[in-house]
Each structure stands twice: as C-alpha cells, then as structure tokens.
Amino acid sequence: MKINLRWLVQAVAFIGCIFFFLKIWNKSKELLTGFAASDLLLIGIYGILFLVCFFLMAVTSYLKQKFNGTLKNPIPFFEKLLSKLGLT
C-alpha cells in the first residue's frame, strides 16, 4: 500500500474533526449546568478548528478527484483556491 501526503493530511484532519467535535460536545454539556463566557469562547475556537479540519478533508478529496480524472462537477471556489496556491 502506498501512503502519500494526501492520506496523511486526511487522516490528521479526520482525527482533528473527531477531537474538536468531542470538545464542542463536552463544552456544550457544561454550558447546560452553568454558563461561563470562557466556555462559550472555547466552543467558538473549537468550532473554527473543526471547520478548518473539515475544509482540509474537503480540499484533499477534491484534489484526489481532480488529479485522478474522476471529478464530475468542478467547484469554482476550489478551482480559484487551487490556482492561487499553484496546485493546478
């Protein structure tokens, strides 16, 4: 089995998504018992980190489909992003 950088990025991003989702879940349960502004701030930070990990998974999947020739519907945002990054 050939392991490449894309697989590594996707694996780390997937683990990050799970980790940050669980952090958000636990902090939201803590908000039910007692409200604290710091908990709300942490939920926001964890939410942003979750979205970053999810975005990394989406971009790497898009790159795989694009370079394998299996991409059926190009997404204009990703196309512009990849051209700015010099990956196309």
Contacts of 47 (CB under 8 A, 6+ apart): 20, 24
Q: Would you list the domain boundaries of the chain?
A: 5-85
What's the pLDDT tens digit per position in 11-70?
A: 999 999 999 999 999 999 888 888 888 889 999 999 999 999 999 999 999 988 988 888
pTM of the model: 0.83
The residue to which tokens 């908990």 are assigned: 39
